[in-house]
Structure 1
């Protein structure tokens, strides 16, 4: 029997200080963010050889394909084989991934109708930090929701002119801090190498402003490399991503991990940051209960010096609602 998140909270095993979310969080709200949907959306835009790669690898996982191309590039260099076509394919598949996310992305009205952003209290219960490796705008919408409820939340972007917000690495100890570890659709680096955040600018929905920004050749800031070493290299080359990564490494106390596989080949940089942090206690959500023993053994092997508890991921949303509104979702907690 695996505990619910509510049980871990009520027994004092986990404090709601820091949260790390992965793609499972967003897929839970909008199923089309899964790789199969993204691949089907972009399949016809890919080159024939690109599609063959997905087919031969028996996957729709863009990052897994990119990882294999990088491996092929390394082998080709050893034997002095031509690599230009592989490099072009790599960049084409990377761009297809972000285009797929944009194309399947709902506007916040769609999300509200289908899953109720207004009744999602995930960000509300955490006191210190939210870290996300997702590119989509769901964390942004939850950020706006908290802001509208007069909760102080800081994503480190400040107004600079009419159209964009600029990255300003100034922390506020009294606020909940939001970090996009792998970038996001609404973030980009301009021609002056300034990291900016897209605003709605008269559009009804932010996703429309993002699309317009991309049409103006503003490529979103996102990390989609397959291998963790390549992800870390890209993170270290960008001051915003580096700031977010270092902030994960600098946290202490209790960390909840939800919707994140922490795959050893793709996410070891995230694991390493947590290992090197002063986190004492981790609550890790397991989705596939048929593999709970194997998953718990793998996660424990990552963090032998930390206290780890596991919870059923399927209980997380209901648990969060109870923690936020304990009296039958009556009055919210005071912070």
Structure 2
């Protein structure tokens, strides 16, 4: 392993010498804007929210029996049970009641950690929009609404991966412009019983508020807080998610990692990068101090050993347009109390 130092390149200089055609975003990118996007567990938050807005004891027992802390598979299972009961003329409202109860707890947890649309200025959204359009493909493991909201600001220049009715069709993905792919789903996406994917038509604040709409048969499509193998299992059950992961596994140009730690819970993303063997990797690092920089460089050097045909390049995260300090949103006191 080559010797490491605490020096970090500036993004503009590094990009000129080693341009990247693809960007992979992680939780750190969202935390630049909104500190409550820390490595929280939605399940734990919903569990602790209390009887009025959190998971009921019977809801928690259901998660435990299925061996998961993911909302999507539990809601999907309940939807299947409701349809099966209806087909067999079984008169039981329990599965539907549990569906609504768990969905309500999820909604409260999401609203507690997500920034309101009103806090994001047009200038902030324009900055993010312009930064995304510098790449051919943008991959994100985040399921928040920051990128969909930013793309609304000026949709020209972004590829259309969903048809006019909002449905994804893997046969119709050849569209000009920057592709934005949500590897773990998002709050703007819905999974249908047959595994197909629909993008919600709402925009702006309604995209967050509308998560509360309960339509049996459709569940929010996002994969969160669990082991990598559990995430991969959920990804394989979705046409859109499996296609998106396969696209990452084919990225052979320069790839930029921003806010993406590639820890053990995202082992499937690391394996996709290893399969792709990109030309080079440019990795954003927060320059807290010299020791922190060295530790991060060593971590990525060891973690990505043999995963890239070229070299690893490290740069100061704050020098990238998506890492600018002025993007940070103030957390209102009333919002912070809910966390």
User: TM-score, normalization: structure 2?
Assistant: 0.70
Work out whether residues 131 and 322 of structure 2, in 8 Å CA contact, stay in contact via their aligned partners in 1.
Answer: no
- Give structure 1 stretches of 5+ with no counterpart: 51-68, 70-82, 322-335
Question: How far is 1:204 from its partner?
Answer: 5.7
Q: CA 1:36–1:277 in 2, change beyond 3 Å: closer, same or farther?
A: closer
Separation in structure 2 between the aligned mates of residue 141 and residue 110 of structure 1, nearest angstrom = 12
Instruction: Name whichever structure is richer in strand by fraction.
Output: 1
Measured on the aligned residues, the alpha-carbon RMSD in Å equals 3.3
Work out whether residues 195 and 239 of structure 2, in 8 Å CA contact, stay in contact via their aligned partners in 1.
Answer: no
Spell out, residue by residue over 1:41-74, the C-alpha distance to the aligned partner (whole angstroms, 9 max, x if none): 7622356999xxxxxxxxxxxxxxxxxx9xxxxx
What's 2:273 paired with?
274
What's 1:4 paired with?
10
Aligned pair count reads 275
Separation in structure 2 between the aligned mates of residue 318 and residue 20 of structure 1, nearest angstrom = 12
Question: How far is 1:34 from its partner?
Answer: 2.1
Work out whether residues 6 and 319 of structure 1, in 8 Å CA contact, stay in contact via their aligned partners in 2.
Answer: no
Q: CA 1:196–1:18 in 2, change beyond 3 Å: closer, same or farther?
A: same
Work out whether residues 3 and 311 of structure 1, in 8 Å CA contact, stay in contact via their aligned partners in 2.
Answer: yes
2:164 to 159, 174, 187: 159
Question: How far is 1:168 from its partner?
Answer: 1.9
Q: Confirm or deny that 1:104 pairs with 2:103.
A: no
Question: How far is 1:183 from its partner?
Answer: 0.5
Aligned residue for 1:279, secondary structure, equals coil
Q: CA 1:312–1:250 in 2, change beyond 3 Å: closer, same or farther?
A: same
Question: How far is 1:246 from its partner?
Answer: 0.3
1:28 to 32, 42, 58: 32
Q: Confirm or deny that 1:87 pairs with 2:96.
A: no
What's 2:83 paired with?
none
Work out whether residues 17 and 253 of structure 1, in 8 Å CA contact, stay in contact via their aligned partners in 2.
Answer: yes
Aligned residue for 2:224, secondary structure, equals coil
Separation in structure 1 between the aligned mates of residue 235 and residue 40 of structure 2, nearest angstrom = 26
- Give structure 2 stretches of 5+ with no counterpart: 1-6, 73-101, 326-339
Spell out, residue by residue over 1:294-335, the C-alpha distance to the aligned partner (whole angstroms, 9 max, x if none): 2212212233342110112122227889xxxxxxxxxxxxxx
